Amino acid sequence: MSKKSPNRWIILLACVIINLCLGAGYAWSVFQTPLIEQFGWTTSQASLAFSLSFGMVPIAMIIFGPLQDRKGPKKITFGGGILFGLGLLATGSINSLIGLYLTYGVIAGMGIGMAYGCCVATPVKWFPDKRGLAGGLTAAGFGSGAIVFAPLAVSLIEKFNVMSTFKILGIAFLIVICLCALLVQEPKKEEQEEKKGTQNVSALANSNDATAREMLKTGKFYILWAMYIIGCISGLMIIGHASPIAQEQIGLTPQVAAVAVSIIGLANTLGRIVWGSVSDKMGRYKTLILMYIMAGVMMVLLNGARSFGMFIITVSGIALCFGGFLGIFPSITADNFGTKNLGVNYGFVFTAFGLAAIIAPRMAAVIKESSGGDYGRAFIISALLSIAGIILTLIITRQQKKTQVMSTPVE
């Protein structure tokens, strides 16, 4: 008699908890100001650490994705937990920009990518019948990091200092992630088949289990990649600068700004669950168009926001959409290129996020410094990019309709 199948909901929960810890990286803006005050760095110098950290994520996913797909996710997730924890721990001892870039940017970022890649791909394989929901929940864990850890970090920074806070969080994350990693495993092929009952028919039709090389030869990959970049830019711009925007544009105190960062994190989290579930019912591309429209409108409104209420409404709307993009794109990758090589395939798709992580916060910082502290032009550029995202979505929707018509057998 075969061994009892693991409970897929427990595996999903372990992945959500791991991503919650990794998502502490989204609380970067509450660390940035104390670091600038302590070391005298500029905003663009300090924000590059955030960009590097998230820029390393897709690189790690591509490097370790093939190992994950061949050997399973447990060891890769465990290793990611060690790197992430040690990276933060080492950040607490740096005294130079290069040290910050190496520890927080490269080491911790590599750890995020190793563990995140496993914790996004694994639940999608366990839940072929609920891909949008599973992808949304695991991505929600990642987005929730700022909700939990922004106020906690502010409290620790006030009680101790910013360097000690990095050390405390590094040790805590190392322990929690490595323990949860022991529960992470992939389903056997027959276990996947059992769960396919209600899976979307069109998604199954597109699941051709392409290799990374095959995927990279398709025009569809590059359109999706560009769409993902555009979807991430507005969210990463706001997340990377939420606390400074709140303090400088709206006039909030650091403590109230930290609360705003947590609210943004909550919206980010809800977006991953809500839009993921909506995409299972409405379709991925219709959902993407709605999110581009909402993000663009909110960016325009943010440019004129001067009250706490309008600030929260606009940045929450942007974060809600940003979360949706991260929740939906693992499922879009599986829908189009299959689940067999999802670990490495999504790593390549996720380079869009890495590029956006480099572009968005730095673009906002450079525009702010060249405009006397005004973020306005950055907001408008992001809004215009949302229009480009809508156009690309319409293009790929039209291409897929043509493909479906051509592949339909004549009776």
> Could you tell me if residue 36 is inside a domain?
yes
Q: How far apart are CA 113 and CA 57, in angstroms?
A: 4
Work out the pLDDT band at 190, boundaries 50, 70, 90: low
The answer, yes or no, to whether residue 198 has pLDDT greater than 60, is no
Kindly state the tokens that stand for 67: 């190992």
Instruction: Give the other-Cβ count within 10 Å of 102's Cβ.
Output: 18
Work out the pLDDT band at 267, boundaries 50, 70, 90: confident
pTM for this predicted structure:
0.72
Q: What is the mean pLDDT of residues 323-343?
A: 85
Confidence (pLDDT) at 203: 43
Q: Which of the residue ranges 87-101, 160-174, 222-236, 263-277 would you say has the lowest mean pLDDT? A: 263-277
- Give 146's contacts (C-beta < 8 A, 6+ positions apart): 23, 24, 26, 27, 239, 261, 262, 264, 265, 268
Per residue in 301-326, pLDDT (tens digit) is 988 888 888 888 999 999 999 989 98
Q: How far apart are CA 344 and CA 65, in angstroms?
A: 4
Work out the pLDDT band at 193, boundaries 50, 70, 90: low
Instruction: Give the other-Cβ count within 10 Å of 355's Cβ.
Output: 19
Q: How far apart are CA 183 and CA 189, in angstroms?
A: 18
Q: Which range of residues forms the domain containing residue 172? A: 8-404
Whether 22 and 177 have beta carbons less than 8 Å apart is answered as yes
* CA distances for 322 relative to 119, 239, 360, 383, angstroms: 19, 10, 13, 13
The answer, yes or no, to whether residue 68 has pLDDT greater than 70, is yes
The structural domain count of the chain equals 1
Confidence (pLDDT) at 205: 41
- SS3 of 50-119: HHHHHHHHHHHHHHHHHHHHHHCCHHHHHHHHHHHHHHHHHHCCCCCHHHHHHHHHHHHHHHHHHHHHHH
The answer, yes or no, to whether residue 111 has pLDDT greater than 90, is yes
The answer, yes or no, to whether residue 345 has pLDDT greater than 50, is yes
Q: How far apart are CA 68 and CA 189, in angstroms?
A: 16
> Could you tell me if residue 410 is inside a domain?
no
Kindly state the tokens that stand for 371: 């405009």
Confidence (pLDDT) at 196: 52
Confidence (pLDDT) at 200: 45
Whether 319 and 267 have beta carbons less than 8 Å apart is answered as yes
Q: Which residue has the higher pLDDT, 131 or 395?
A: 395
Whether 58 and 333 have beta carbons less than 8 Å apart is answered as no
What's the distance, Cα to Cα, between the start and end of the chain in Å?
45
- SS3 of the chain: CCCCCCCHHHHHHHHHHHHHHHHHHHHHHHHHHHHHHHHCCCHHHHHHHHHHHHHHHHHHHHHHHHHHHHHCCHHHHHHHHHHHHHHHHHHCCCCCHHHHHHHHHHHHHHHHHHHHHHHHHHHHHHCCCCHHHHHHHHHHHHHCHHHHHHHHHHHHHHHCCHHHHHHHHHHHHHHHHHHHHCCCCCCCHHHHHHCCCCCCHHHHHHCCCCCHHHHHCCHHHHHHHHHHHHHHHHHHHHHHHHHHHHHHHHCCCHHHHHHHHHHHHHHHHHHHHHHHHHHHHHCHHHHHHHHHHHHHHHHHHHHCCCCHHHHHHHHHHHHHHHHHHHHHHHHHHHHHHCCCCHHHHHHHHCHHHHHHHHHHHHHHHHHHHHCCCCCHHHHHHHHHHHHHHHHHHHHHHHHHHHHHHHHCCCC
The answer, yes or no, to whether residue 292 has pLDDT greater than 90, is yes
Confidence (pLDDT) at 406: 54
Identify which of 13-17, 307-311, 405-409 has the greatest average pLDDT: 13-17
Q: What is the mean pLDDT of residues 387-408?
A: 80
Confidence (pLDDT) at 411: 45
Tell me the HSE value of 246 on the side-chain side, using a 13 A CA sphere. 30
Phi then psi dihedrals of residue 199, to 5 deg: -65, 145
Q: What is the mean pLDDT of residues 138-160?
A: 84
Q: What is the mean pLDDT of residues 275-281?
A: 83
Q: Which CATH number is 318's domain given? A: 1.20.1250.20
- Give 70's contacts (C-beta < 8 A, 6+ positions apart): none
> Could you tell me if residue 409 is inside a domain?
no
Q: Which of the residue ranges 21-25, 148-152, 190-194, 225-229 would you say has the lowest mean pLDDT? A: 190-194
> Could you tell me if residue 20 is inside a domain?
yes
